[in-house]
Structure 1
Amino acid sequence: MPVPPAPSKRIGLAANRSHHADTHAALSQLLTHGRDAIEHWLQPTLVVVGRTMDAIENYGLLPGYGRFERFPYGREGGLMMLVSRVVDPVPARGVDAVIYLIDPVDPSSSFPEASALKRQCIIHGKPFLSTLASAREWLDLEAMVAGAPGPGAGGPDLEEDSIALIAHDAMKGRMIEIAEKHFELLDRFALRHATGTTGALLNELAVRRKGKEGEGWVKPLLSGPMGGDAQIAELILRRQCGRVIFLEDPHVARQHEADIQLLERAVRTVTEFAVHISDARTADRWLSLLGQYRAAPGRARPRA
């Protein structure tokens, strides 16, 4: 008996000015790379903010694709409306994920609606993809779930990459749960970095799983408030760490907000390189699909 097709995703899409400035910018790279995933496998409705939609039309991106919902320009409230769609419980109106390609030197990236967009995605467990690398890999992995042949995501093998694992206090337990569930995958990375207490907890997990061999499984850095976020930011900028899982608690005031923003700025500065995940639900699914995609040998196709 044929399996009914999954409901089409609805994806919010926006990009800061420099990321849609020409045919070589991040938006063009993303939609050129992801054209097959979008047109043939996912067929999402793209909910696109003003100038980003203008760029898609002007540069002939996704020619003939008809699943667009155009929002107003940012200055007319388009990004604010997108925040509302993240929390909208009606499937025909809400969005399942947001791709917002952020230029960290664009003043609009720090506007309240930009911060609220990320915060509500975290609260509601929806992917918030702010770098080219994050969006590109997410599209590839989700397309493979829909049946697309791999490989598609590209990038280095895990054994040549490193990952940073960070969690606010209320999220440390969830980080340990995720790390234990995906331990074999995380163990394949060349290096693992973590800040403060999170690093100590992860090393305790590794010792439980691997015995004495698990000692030093994670390279512990300073706590976030004492500069650990800045240490990871430098690793990212030097392209020595390509993946970051940062489980943020959106419900508390954060005394070291500037350090968190610094880390995010570093990730977005190397937008084509760094993958950044901010909520537990997305991190769990991403690691599950990444593990299947990177399964040796043959990089098996992810399963739904």
Structure 2
Amino acid sequence: MTLSSVTAGTLTSPAPLTPLTPLKPRLRIGLIANRSHQDAAGSALVQLFRRAEASLRALQPEWVVVGRTLDAIHSHGLGHLCEPHIRFPYGREGGLMKLVAHVVNSAPQNSVDAVVYLIDPVDPSSVFPEALALKRQCVIHGKPFLSTLASVCEWLELEALTMGSTTHLSSGRGFALPQESIALIAHDAMKQKMLKLAEKHFALLDQFEHRYATGTTGSLLNQLAQRMKGEEAGRNWVQPFLSGPMGGDAQIAELVLEQKIRRILFLEDPHVARQHEADIQLLERAARTVTDFALVVSDVDGSDRWLQLMSQRLALSTS
């Protein structure tokens, strides 16, 4: 397909796909990838569009793409899966800063519903102020921030369920929960919200082979499990590690790097400065190091929706 060039803020014409009839307004997704995730034929950006093609055809999202990332998509012949789109400037020309503004804005023509930022953990630009602000504003405004290949593919697959699609489902990688582990972490102001989430989705979380948590969160979750399952059955429902400030994030990060924990539900409080911020970033960096394996969900609404859709996904697998 030959793509017409567009200027920033202008949508191209939709590609002539024949997906299912949308049941809701199409999603608008912001997209950027660090350079090491763009250029190679097997890069994370290429894998995203190839692995998630069926989900994308069901969702028909609109894309808001930072310049060089869009150039890479075209160079790999994947432009037909990125239509319609808005082109933002290159990152060095403010494209990433503009994307932050579109997370904050609420007007449909100037907003995004989610952000895909495929982060190379050793790329210096991933810690630029605009990169950090992008993630923080996503958490504040309850919009998914997807920084690993695994997180994007799973999120797209789950969201496509809401369009009525079932033909897009993958082979089930990572959905055999009795063989999977999950980490449950919450900052002080978010611990009660974590407990509410865990109680609401207890049946799903109980299917995981192992559950891990840091410090107080682990103790609180075990108390919840004792109420839900009985004192003995719930006593060690979660394996608690050290508190975050004492190194619990690092302990979990090691298991992520060893590909023993795939999913991390990390409820962050974006309004409080933390002395152990480096430990938090270490855990996220571990997930991004194994980008094809691990995923992190950081906001309450996104976590609730993710767990709800995962339950639907698992029900389809067993039906």
Same fold (TM over 0.5): yes
The reply on whether 1:284 has 2:301 as its aligned counterpart is: no
The reply on whether 1:102 has 2:119 as its aligned counterpart is: yes
TM-score (norm 1): 0.95
TM-score (norm 2): 0.90
Distance 2:53 2:22 in 1: 23
Task: Tell me, yes or no, if the aligned pair for 1:51 and 1:73 is still in contact at 8 Å.
Answer: yes
Distance 2:93 2:118 in 1: 19
Q: Count residues with an aligned counterpart.
A: 296
Map 1:122-161 → 2, pairs under 5 A: 122-150=139-167, 151-152=169-170, 154-156=172-174, 157-161=176-180
Unaligned stretches of 5+ in structure 1?
none
Cα deviation, 1:13-48, whole Å, max 9, x if unaligned, reads 00000100222000000011112222x311111000
Matched residue, 1:88 = 105
Code of the residue aligned with 1:34 in structure 2: it is A
Distance 1:240 1:258 in 2: 22
> Which of residues 155, 165, 170 in structure 1 aligns to 2:189?
170
Distance 1:142 1:299 in 2: 19
The reply on whether 1:190 has 2:213 as its aligned counterpart is: no
Distance 1:66 1:97 in 2: 16
TM-aligned CA deviation for residue 107 of structure 1: 0.3
TM-aligned CA deviation for residue 87 of structure 1: 0.7
Go from structure 1 to structure 2 and tell me whether the alpha carbon gap of 1:153 and 1:17 turns closer, same or farther (over 3 Å shift).
Answer: farther
Code of the residue aligned with 2:192 in structure 1: it is G
Task: Tell me, yes or no, if the aligned pair for 1:10 and 1:46 is still in contact at 8 Å.
Answer: yes
Unaligned stretches of 5+ in structure 2?
1-20
Using the aligned pairs only, state the percent identity. 61
Matched residue, 1:114 = 131
After superposition, the CA RMSD in angstroms is 1.4
Task: Tell me, yes or no, if the aligned pair for 1:137 and 1:153 is still in contact at 8 Å.
Answer: no
Distance 1:18 1:107 in 2: 12
Cα deviation, 1:223-256, whole Å, max 9, x if unaligned, reads 0000000000000001110000000000000110
TM-aligned CA deviation for residue 56 of structure 1: 0.7
> Which of residues 199, 209, 217 in structure 1 aligns to 2:218?
199
TM-aligned CA deviation for residue 8 of structure 1: 1.1
